[in-house]
A and B are shown apart, each in its own frame.
Chain A
């Protein structure tokens, strides 16, 4: 690919975003859609400015981000550890790989009420819910990554006399890391989505709670203002995650 052709995907993305905004504007101007469902862009912008200036904005953002971070750290550490330990034995791998992927196929959302019962309406239930949901993709990909390392490379390493740690550091980890990274990324966005979703369903604080509350109070502009914040956060986090991933892969 040449330098100029790299600009095309960005141009297309920009065009789609601009088209979406235009559509939003035209639809709200036409009066066909009730402003209760979709307020005009300028109303949302005004609501957003008011929201960011309000006293409740940063505390809500702080609560949600802390919960996401804590849930993700738990999910990642537990997932990596579990995946590594299971793949230490071919027997355990064969027993657990289908088990873990089977559980991941169940919509864990169904158990959300149970999390509320166990951990209460506070952030703990959202933390636990996000951590459990995020755990599975991390564990699953860690198992897949370590279990399917090219046998011949491991044999070659053993014949060269690599130590157990050397084998891990120079063969197993580099071989497994692309797959593990995918798991970590998917796990992150699942944590992000489940904490916000959990907050929207049953919570007393956080961004998700405020989105649900705004809807209940018939304040659509405010609800969309919050959603704009979530979209912005998602974009920033996506960029951040891919930067970290690239850094790690290059080293």
Chain B
């Protein structure tokens, strides 16, 4: 059974018939198998975050249905799905460590393990020295790393990640991407990932869904047949650049379309 199943989903924002009604997604269907890493690639504003919000149970589609483990998603499923948002959603009134405590309490982790679990998660993104800091004392990139670590610390089978590396420099992205690939090889999590980086998409994914300009449709699916964990050298292979170019070719027309529409 598919871990995530998106069936003929369309979504529009705004009231029907109103001028500001926006069709964000149009007839999107795909499945994500358990343990699979699927990346959604598409021009800005094509409905990627909207799609993730639906899988996360924060938004119900205007048409179609989303299922997780064969059950329709009607609300967030904290036991099954962790969601790393596009922007950091650390609670600004709590320190980094307190932010983790809120999560670990929800996950029924015994209090005695909170500190070790928090430090382990922070160490995995190189932020172990900042447990006592408040989010506003950190840079945007640091906050995003911690946000990512918090998502992984949820320890759910399914992870939704909306551009988790967007605010990071290219080198940090690469390093964290390698770590993520290693984690995936180890834990077999199901991941639905959104990125704008072609290299990141090819390096991490088992399958890449290329969406069209708004309203988003699945324009093409690109499979990456390379086992996890992937060594950094994978990026130097001809397979890698070929897949990357393939994605770019699929995307560039859509990006032009999206930009033309934005100007018009």
Chain A residues in the interface with B (C-beta under 8 A): 152-153, 155-162, 166, 170-171, 174-175
Q: Which residues of A contact B53 (CB under 8 A)?
A: 155
**CB-CB under 8 A for A160 and B85, given A155-B58, A174-B91:** no
Q: Is the CB of A170 within 8 A of B102?
A: yes
A contact patch SS: helix
Q: Is the CB of A159 within 8 A of B82?
A: yes
Q: How many residues from B make CB contacts under 8 Å with A?
A: 23
**CB-CB under 8 A for A158 and B58, given A152-B89, A174-B91, A174-B93:** yes
Q: List 11 A-B contacts (CB under 8 A).
A: A153-B89, A153-B91, A155-B58, A155-B89, A157-B102, A158-B58, A159-B57, A160-B82, A160-B103, A161-B76, A174-B91
Q: Which residues of B contact A152 (CB under 8 A)?
A: 85, 87, 89
Closest residue of chain B to A152 (Cβ to Cβ) is B89
Within the complex, the shortest CB–CB distance from A177 to chain B, in Å, comes to 9
Q: CA of A160 to CA of B57 in the docked complex: distance in angstroms? A: 12
Within the complex, the shortest CB–CB distance from B161 to chain A, in Å, comes to 12
Q: Which residues of A contact B93 (CB under 8 A)?
A: 174-175
Q: Which residues of B contact A155 (CB under 8 A)?
A: 53, 58, 83, 85, 89
Q: Is the CB of A156 within 8 A of B78?
A: no
Q: Which residues of A contact B56 (CB under 8 A)?
A: 159
B79 at interface, CB cutoff 8 A: yes
**CB-CB under 8 A for A159 and B87, given A166-B106, A170-B102, A174-B93:** no
B81 at interface, CB cutoff 8 A: yes
Within the complex, the shortest CB–CB distance from A184 to chain B, in Å, comes to 18
Cβ-defined partner of A161 (8 Å) among B78, B91, B94:
B78
Q: Is the CB of B106 within 8 A of A156?
A: no
Within the complex, the shortest CB–CB distance from B113 to chain A, in Å, comes to 17
Most B CB within 10 A of own CB, among A155, A159, A171: A159
Closest residue of chain A to B56 (Cβ to Cβ) is A159
Q: Which residues of A contact B78 (CB under 8 A)?
A: 158-161
Q: Is the CB of B91 within 8 A of A171?
A: yes
Q: Is the CB of A160 within 8 A of B87?
A: no
Closest residue of chain B to A169 (Cβ to Cβ) is B102
Closest residue of chain B to A151 (Cβ to Cβ) is B58
